[in-house]
Structure 1
Amino acid sequence: MDDVRILDAWSAGRRRPEARRLLLLAAACPGTPAETLAGLTAGRSNLLLLRDRRDTLGSRLEGETTCSACDARLEVAVDLSELLGDADASADDDAADDGDSRAAADGELRSGDCVVCFRLPTVRDLQTAAAGADPESAARVLLRSCVVSFDRAGELRPAEDLPTELLHALDTELGRRDPHADLRLSASCPGCEHTFELVLDPVSLYWDELEARARRLLLDVHRLADRYGWSERECLGIDPLRRAGYLELIG
């Protein structure tokens, strides 16, 4: 993602927080129709965002967390190339796939007299669920949006009638079929030796980093425009090394 697209995605994402995943994907995959990106599965979109983060900001990801057992502050470092692994090779094909061209149902669950046909959650589903009042209600909206049909004793029922145990089973099956939708890392505390999992949310992660980058770019543009009278596009169009040179001259 170049500097122009970073600022465009940042300004649009500030206005529409619920659409940040789609906006970041559009900036990462220029020329790909929005409908195609909205139809990608959650896991595919995560892989594309992580790959673009690696290509834009580097492979090494560093951060801090807190041990869930002793509350010690821990530094965490991840190599995104290792995390992506073989899945990175299919990222371009994934971006070219139209999610709406998939079969109406990706799988089926049976329990007693209940039959649930389901599909994998898409970027469009995630965006709709993000409007939920709280994470729990958003999760329920997301799961039910994946139900293509629910048959109980030969009668079609609405997804809202799914028993709790079937909702849990559906959640498990969706995770099995789209493993990159829920990314988790194993962490260990050197102090108390407690081992725990960290949830890796590519959207929040990438957004926070791009926001910091965008604010630095705005400052650079302000200094160059103030000194040389260049427009924003002219400032951002300069090779980054030459731009840094001009900023050094300004002091």
Structure 2
Amino acid sequence: MTFQSEFPFTLPRGFVDAEGRVHKEGTMRLATAKDEVTPLQDYRVKTNPGYLAVILLARVVTRLGDLPQIYPQVIEDLPVADFAYLQTMYRRINEHGHNRLSVTCPACEKTFEVEAEPVGES
């Protein structure tokens, strides 16, 4: 078994840049303790604790389409469905070490794992 530190994803809707291009494919890495502690010192988090998720995701999303860098502004401008998808993925990979879901077939009742995929538009 190999250790995986980066996980690919496809956003349900995608980030639309200034030129109108949609960026959906990306990569998220596992968080470090520093990733979780450093944002707590940011003035935006001190004045609005809800902003913690924005900064945290900007730190761990390593690629989104062909954007040169992921800034908090990129995360702020994501559709709500994409923001929620990334938050769920963050929790899944950092708590379980993978981006798989355990599912049960309704017909045969067999349980197996599948890679998590976004729901909605493709």
Instruction: Please give the TM-score of this superposition, normalised by the length of structure 2.
Output: 0.51
Q: Does 1:136 align with 2:46?
A: no
Aligned position for 1:107: 7
**d(CA) in 1 for partners of 2:36, 2:94:** 14
Aligned position for 2:92: 176
Q: List alignment gaps of at least 5 residues for structure 1.
A: 1-101, 181-251
**d(CA) in 1 for partners of 2:54, 2:74:** 12
Q: Which one has a larger percent strand, Structure 1 or Structure 2? A: 2
- Please tell me whether the aligned partners of residues 29 and 60 of structure 2 are also in contact (alpha carbons under 8 angstroms): yes
Deviation at 1:108, TM superposition (A): 1.1
Over the aligned positions, Cα root-mean-square deviation in angstroms equals 2.4
User: 3-state DSSP class of the match of 2:67?
Assistant: strand
- Please tell me whether the aligned partners of residues 53 and 87 of structure 2 are also in contact (alpha carbons under 8 angstroms): no
Aligned position for 2:36: 126
**d(CA) in 2 for partners of 1:172, 1:157:** 24
- Please tell me whether the aligned partners of residues 126 and 142 of structure 1 are also in contact (alpha carbons under 8 angstroms): yes
Aligned position for 1:166: 82
Q: Which amino acid aligns with 2:62?
A: V
Deviations 1:73-124 (A, max 9, x none): xxxxxxxxxxxxxxxxxxxxxxxxxxxxx76x51011136511211122111
**d(CA) in 2 for partners of 1:172, 1:116:** 15
Q: Which one has a larger percent helix, Structure 1 or Structure 2? A: 1
Runs of 4 or more consecutive aligned structure 1 residues displaced over 6 Å after TM superposition? none
Q: Which amino acid aligns with 1:147?
A: V
Identity of aligned residues (%): 20
- Please tell me whether the aligned partners of residues 7 and 29 of structure 2 are also in contact (alpha carbons under 8 angstroms): yes
Match of 2:26 among 116, 124, 130: 116
- Please tell me whether the aligned partners of residues 28 and 63 of structure 2 are also in contact (alpha carbons under 8 angstroms): yes
Q: Which amino acid aligns with 2:9?
A: L
Higher RCO structure, 1 or 2 (CA under 8 Å, sep 6+): 2
**d(CA) in 1 for partners of 2:94, 2:74:** 24
User: 3-state DSSP class of the match of 2:34?
Assistant: helix
Deviation at 1:158, TM superposition (A): 3.8
- Superposed counterparts of 1:1-251, under 5 Å: 106-111=6-11, 113-131=23-41, 132-133=45-46, 134-151=48-65, 155-156=66-67, 158-159=69-70, 160-162=73-75, 163-164=78-79, 165-179=81-95
Matched positions, count: 75
**d(CA) in 1 for partners of 2:87, 2:68:** 19
Instruction: Please give the TM-score of this superposition, normalised by the length of structure 1.
Output: 0.27
Deviation at 1:161, TM superposition (A): 2.0
**d(CA) in 1 for partners of 2:30, 2:10:** 17
Deviation at 1:157, TM superposition (A): 5.1
Deviation at 1:141, TM superposition (A): 0.6
